[in-house]
Structure 1
Amino acid sequence: MIEKKNHIIKGNGHPLVLLHGLMGGLSNFESLINFFPKKGFKVIMPLLPIYNMPLFSTNVFSLSKYVINFLTDIGIKKATFIGNSLGGHIALIIAKYRLNLVHSIVLTGSSGLFEKSFGESFPKRENYEYIKKKSQEVFYNPKIATKKLVDDIYSIVNDKRKSIKILYIARSAIKCNMSKFLCRINKPICIIWGKQDNITPPHVAKLFHKLLPKSDIYWIDRCGHVPMMEHPKKFIYILEKWLSKLILIK
């Protein structure tokens, strides 16, 4: 396994590219990173440079370009992209501009059509209990929002430089609505959604399913916006079965 501060590469075989959300990180997909290399997959997870880009290019398009360049540099030619929230949106943008890189896509709590976030600013960002409440709303089970997770988000939103960049990306994501383009993505799509997702509600998943011509949709009950963290075993079960229809799995 190659593990660095800005990416993880583990295993050999068909590449799975894991793309985290706006306030996510490498740990969000820990269960997939541990499972799929044993099944004959090459798991690749870049840490998106959300806080390291110049402000004028802090947007979803620059993040998509970063992922494209990263995959090109390591010799990946056709991959399955698995994106949560902003990560799903980035996968769709990559499909729009570099469809040749895409074998298939997995969307879970993806933005690109609609997403309810903290808003256009961070009200009460210095109020720890407010940030804790907003963090817990991401999950069906509020205990998933551990103290460390809440502390990390609290630190980010109270860092002026980071909070500004988050707002720039969030606004660019809202402007980049994918609805008119989705019908042109003629690739297999797996939609895995939490039934109690408050950030990208179930009607968003249904609209993705309607607009994407080759999509399958799966639901996880008692689950919020980040299914692979809240119900990792169920998420992996659904994903492995779906991938087995497309790719020979050990």
Structure 2
Amino acid sequence: MQDEVIKDGKFRYIEKGDGTPIIILHGLMGGLSNFQGVTEYFPKKGYKVLIPELPLYDMPMLKTTVKNFAKYLEQFIKYKNLDQVILLGNSLGGHIGLLHTKLYPELVKALVITGSSGLYESAMGDGYPKRGDYEFIKKKAQDVFYDPKVATKEIVDEVFATVNDRIKLVKTLAIAKSAIRHNMSKDLPKMKTPTCIIWGKEDAVTPPNVAEEFHDLLPDSELYWIEKCGHAPMMEHPEQFNQILDAWLQQRKF
């Protein structure tokens, strides 16, 4: 990704544009570059796009939880002196956005979730992750997408490096368990924040019925599908993703 990562104290983030803030939350195995299409498109539409690097592997083990990542996000919003933000999260990032919105509803104007955890997590596979088995990791990375070619060597190498780092591996599993513990089915009906749900029709990690359940449980939500698309629509179909989100934001006058 070409965008400069700003380092300031404990925060590392990308920032582009001016206007209504859209804060992007990456997933467990996702990097800042996963949202390149969004960061190129929305600043031209009058939005300030910010992508904080979540401290997935930097917190003490006992604090490596979805709730503490939501609190970290609140600290970042205060640090940037923002208010009435739009949160956009994929996978674990969607879960963090949902929990943050529950904890700090006054800070969030709107929520966008895609392939979000929070209701359901598929098993990562038998014996996952197999350290040292590059082909196994490659297959797992490809399974995230409808088109396996989206899982570039760079993406596979990054996942392979993570699961072969013992500390990162242990924390990855701790985060996955925390996500399962933080099931939000009882919280969602009380959350009135306008929510845009964008989902891949062929998502094998969080299948389509998960999107439908989010839509049923969230009082003010709209659900949009992207065909021939897996777990990361903003990577696999960036133009379509941007068009859906842009139209929703305009319709809601955000």
TM value normalised by structure 2: 0.94
- 1:22 paired residue number: 28
| Residues 42-61 of structure 1: pairs in structure 2 closer than 5 A | 42-61=48-67
1:51 is paired with a residue whose SS is coil
Mark the CA change 1:204 to 1:174 in structure 2 (over 3 Å): closer, same or farther. same
Deviating runs (4+, > 4 A) in structure 1? none
- 1:102 paired residue number: 108
- 2:197 paired residue number: 191
* CA distance in structure 2 between the partners assigned to 1:3 and 1:243 by the alignment: 26
| Superposed CA offset, 1:97-131 (max 9, x none) | 10001101011000000021425963422211100
| Residues 150-189 of structure 1: pairs in structure 2 closer than 5 A | 150-189=156-195
- 1:3 paired residue number: 5
* CA distance in structure 2 between the partners assigned to 1:198 and 1:232 by the alignment: 19
* CA distance in structure 2 between the partners assigned to 1:50 and 1:124 by the alignment: 20
* CA distance in structure 1 between the partners assigned to 2:174 and 2:5 by the alignment: 29
1:45 is paired with a residue whose SS is strand
User: Number of residue pairs matched?
Assistant: 248
Mark the CA change 1:100 to 1:120 in structure 2 (over 3 Å): closer, same or farther. farther
| Superposed CA offset, 1:179-229 (max 9, x none) | 000011111110000000000000000000000011000000000000000
| C-alpha contact (below 8 Å) 1:82/1:91 kept by paired residues | yes
1:225 maps to which of 221, 231, 239:
231
* CA distance in structure 2 between the partners assigned to 1:2 and 1:28 by the alignment: 15
Ranges in structure 1 where 5+ consecutive residues have no aligned partner: none
* CA distance in structure 2 between the partners assigned to 1:178 and 1:227 by the alignment: 22
What amino acid is aligned across from residue 137 of structure 2 in structure 1? I
* CA distance in structure 1 between the partners assigned to 2:124 and 2:71 by the alignment: 25
- 1:31 paired residue number: 37
- 2:206 paired residue number: 200
Mark the CA change 1:123 to 1:245 in structure 2 (over 3 Å): closer, same or farther. closer
Identity %: 52
* CA distance in structure 2 between the partners assigned to 1:71 and 1:105 by the alignment: 15
| C-alpha contact (below 8 Å) 2:18/2:46 kept by paired residues | yes
What amino acid is aligned across from residue 226 of structure 2 in structure 1? I
- 2:99 paired residue number: 93
* CA distance in structure 1 between the partners assigned to 2:180 and 2:21 by the alignment: 29
Mark the CA change 1:120 to 1:89 in structure 2 (over 3 Å): closer, same or farther. farther
What amino acid is aligned across from residue 105 of structure 1 in structure 2? L
* Cα drift, residue 141 of structure 1: 0.1
| C-alpha contact (below 8 Å) 2:202/2:208 kept by paired residues | yes
Mark the CA change 1:56 to 1:241 in structure 2 (over 3 Å): closer, same or farther. same
| Superposed CA offset, 1:27-70 (max 9, x none) | 01111111101110011110101011111101111111111101
1:135 maps to which of 134, 137, 141:
141
| C-alpha contact (below 8 Å) 2:129/2:163 kept by paired residues | no
* CA distance in structure 2 between the partners assigned to 1:198 and 1:218 by the alignment: 17
| C-alpha contact (below 8 Å) 1:18/1:45 kept by paired residues | yes
What amino acid is aligned across from residue 125 of structure 1 in structure 2? R
